[in-house]
Structure 1
Amino acid sequence: MEAQISAVCQFCETSREINWRCLNCDLFLCRICNSKIHSKIMSSVEHKIIHLDQCGTEETINNIRKLDLKQMKCTTHHDRTCFIFCKNCNQPICSSCILNIHQNHTFCEIDDAYEEKLADIENLKVEIKSNIAFLKSEETLLQERELKSKNHHIEIRTLILNREEDMKQDIAKKTKYVLDELETEWHNTEHSINSDIELCSKTKSKLLKRKDNIYQTLKSHDPRLVFDECLSDIKQLHQPMFGKRASLFQFFPQQIETRGIVGDLTEKPIIENITVYPTDMKCISCLSHCEAEKLLICNNSEDILKKEDLSYDTYKTLKTLKDIRVMDISQTKDGHAILSVGEDLKILTKTGQLKTFLHLDLITLCVHVNNENELFVGALVKDPDHWRGELGIVLVLDEHGNTTCAFDKRKIINDSDSDYIYYDDSFDEDEEVDMFDYPSRVLNTKKDGILIIDNSNLSTYAGKVVLLNRSGDIEQEYSGCDCENCNDFKFCPFDIAETHSNLILVSDIGKHSIHVLGKALLTCSFVDDIGIDYPLSLCIDAAGKLWIGCDMSADDDEAAKIYCISFN
């Protein structure tokens, strides 16, 4: 603790002009005592004298601490001073300690140990200061994020409540319509019944009157009354013309499927970084990530397949295969590539060897390999009895190439308990129909669904995305967006990929866009927002990055680019 400044010089004890302090003597000195007396004392030549302005500074405190170091008492032998540092025990010790406790230990000068420890403390201080600055910055960012997230939360909450209010209004309108219809029917029914009651009452009165007349006739002795009684209107009186009997209406409440009726919360991807790579190809119809910045890319209109290393300033071609029409590529978990080529599934090994893995008696269109090395193959089966001459099919094969299941037909059923009702007036109930026209892409999702792009028009690639379960039931279909920007475009899906956060990306060559699907459509203008032209093929690598191959076939002056997008 800093000593309190004395009122008078502690050397002459008369002067009040205190300007100096001797750290060794721990005395406050006046100017004359410092220059004329203290400095002349032989034993004080090496004493550290400081001006009072320097008292309390870090340098002064350090100097005092160094002086105290020379007088530091041993914690074990209180009458002795520490003069050396034991590295084994990590403590300063005295001469008695060396003899009694620290024999055969490693020692160093106490000043050296002090300086080393002090340097470590200074480094720690700098690190703490840096961490505090970082935490202050992070705290500011988190506060800004909290405010932004709170506003976003309020905005989303308002949208959900507005949706609820809209649904309430729609239900109220429909309820009013049904109630008005019911009241109209009841009014007509009530009027008809009341009219019939009135007719019954009148007819009954007439019959009672006739009954009295007949009674009088039968009691009379006059036979003429018997001949005068008219019997022609008796039938009319017995059978009056009542109105049509009103039907009793029944109310059949419809079961409301709440899933998706309000909407769903899904995390929208946030782009962190975009890297652009040039190529010398006009179109990249499919691409598959191998490792690092190495990709397999192909253009099936030119029958060419390349393995590229994009880590160079100008990309480097590692391998080129010509005269091979590759429709699709998928990587196995051990780094080999499975290629869809005509009637074959071929394997391109990590060493660059191309072999036939499996021959199929059908035309393969696409292939996907999941983490269990199951193969999902979209293909066309030649069928001369079919009106098109071929039938779309999706196969699931084990790692040895054995077919475990196939999806090619589905039943048109009418089941009120089912979530999905398929019907067509041209088909009988429970008749089987084709499930696919042209299954050009297939993907086994992380939730074990089977996503298929089915193109119904090969000239435009117009089609839809179908989600199957393992039993082959259609769980969901997506046929494009209904927003104003998409009204003039048909949905033409070409490729499909799944992000690590289970979002489905679908490239659309009709609108030259990428649709982002969660439980519902998130956006249909994903690449429009980031300025990517003509996206075509898609791939998600092991790190979660999205690779996009483009199609510049319509541009004579520009080659296709590859984009790599990192998500936050």
Structure 2
Amino acid sequence: MLHPQCSAQYVLLCDLCETVPLQSHCELCNVNLCKACVEQHLSDSSKRHNVVSILHRKSTPSYPKCPKHADKHCELYCKKCDIPVCSTCVSKKHRGHNVCDVFENLSSKMESLQKDLKELETRIYPRYEEMASGVQTEKSELQTNYGKLTTAADQQGEVLHRKITAIVNQRKSDIEEMKNKHMAALDKNADEITQRITELKNIIEDLKIILKTKSVSLASTYKSRNGEFRQLPPKVRVKLPSFSPSKINKDHLKHMIGSVSSLSITPDKQGYTMKSPEAVSSPPVKPLLDKLRLTATIKTGYYRLYSVSPLSEEQVWTCGNEEIMKLFNLRGQLLTSIQTESGNTPEDIIVTWDGYLVYTDSDKRTVNLVKNKQIETVITLQGWKPCYICSTSSDDLLVTMDSDDLKQSKVVRYSGSTEKQIIQFDDQGRPLYSSGYTKFISENRNQDICVADWGAGAVVVVNQSGKLRFRYTGQQSFYPRGITTDSQSHILAAECQKNRIHILDQDGQFLRYINCRLDLPFGLCVDIKDNLFVAESDTAEMHKIQYL
């Protein structure tokens, strides 16, 4: 405050009376005192005060005032309670605690604060600035990156449009070809009738001349052809073909277009925790049913039934121990049948994404496409025999095959008739598959290639590039036959000898068995609604089972 007699100077007053300018300082209690208050302060004999002239006091920080005792300063520090305390506090609530001078603790505190300040300024704060800058950069790139995803979706849509257009054009071409055949048959029929009409006109004219001239020679040489012409020429009867559009399944279309992986927002190790919105784009999960449902049983009429493949939700192709492949509906009615071109028994069948039947002919070493009941050979092998087959999500064909001497086995990917990939050995150059034994094949939803290798007693799974992921060997004496996969990336393998089907997850972990009074389950397939079709070998019956 300003002293009344020295208005231009700032005067420090006594801490006790707060009216008289200070003259002395108690270094122990860290209080400033006037001359009159010194005696009063020294009257407290509980402390060894050290009162010096204000001019000789040491430059030390002031002690904080005690919040519990207004007339005291916290000149001590309780290490146990981690707070400054005054002498009265020590004698009462902090008796027996480990205490030290408050400035001794302050020194270590200051060192700690200095370290914190240095770390904040030199390491932590710059890191936050760097992260903030990174987020801004990522935000600026977000539009471009998501634009690439949109472009990829558009490109896939264009691919599908082209494929659909090609299929539609093929159907139209087939229709045009049938129309031309129909027209040619009618033209031929019309020519035959026209020729008969011409002959009739000539006969009528001849008869008129004979009757008019009453010529004996002409009349005697005339031979009646009325009986011949009473038999009218056959009329061509053609049943017009019909177009049966397949039911468009939304899930099937989604599968063909592809999927977008889930948006995963997770913190890195240096970041703060942010929960990821798990359900943003996760596909619906279909749990396994506690109780299986057998929804249809069809007697196929084969002596042995080997393979089944659905054409639609209501129609299934089958093949067995004869050269005929049969198409049934779920009521067990035979809709159509196709004989192999060679007359050999087909090794396996599959229905492609565009609805065409494909079969392998091991004896002729061919893979064949059935189109409008016409058979076209698309693959012919040399030195290898095609065995089992599957169609992939990219419309390729995967074919298991054995060498003629039955000493080698491999999986080959084809696009049309073009060989694209061979899968035969692992990273150490060892064969992935046994040779000369049954090897059904299926592509999983994650594009893993799954082979039921009977000779190896295992389900052998490789990724899309052909690298071995795992082998599932069941328990003991596991010899799988048919294999298929579903929308949940489950792998289903038929164990023929034990009359059951193993269900695995996509990483080869066993989940459960399907065992509903099956009798030698051999071939397996799943339709677009995850209904399981099982071909029983000995009974030649096909079962439809709901298990999801």
- TM-score, normalising length: structure 1: 0.42
- TM-score, normalising length: structure 2: 0.44
